[in-house]
Amino acid sequence: MATYRFEQFNLDIVNPTVTANADSISIQPSANTIAVDVTLTTDSATFGVRLDAIQCQNMSYEGEENLLLRVNERLNDFIV
């Protein structure tokens, strides 16, 4: 598992369970990116972040499984 750090939290989030809210997707077609609300849950806390600049080749909805793949790719930018 991974450890993540976001500037809005003054701590590291260790080995969270990651979920994405498909209903919160916003699309930026000119940049081929999406933004989505993501929840990172640990045994002791739950953190919500808005991930943007998630790269997408296809601007049509690809399904929740593909959404989580894209979210996990973007989360790599926050691994410490």
* pLDDT band per the 50, 70, 90 thresholds, residue 26: very high
For the chain, the average pLDDT equals 91
- Per-residue confidence (pLDDT) for residue 4, from 0 to 100: 98
- Per-residue confidence (pLDDT) for residue 56, from 0 to 100: 85
Percent of the chain whose pLDDT exceeds 90: 74
User: The whole model's pTM is what?
Assistant: 0.89
67: phi then psi, degrees, rounded to nearest 5: -60, -45
- Per-residue confidence (pLDDT) for residue 17, from 0 to 100: 97
Cα distances (angstroms) measured from residue 28 to each of 1, 16, 60, 76: 30, 27, 12, 21
Instruction: Provide the token pair at 58.
Output: 């296809």
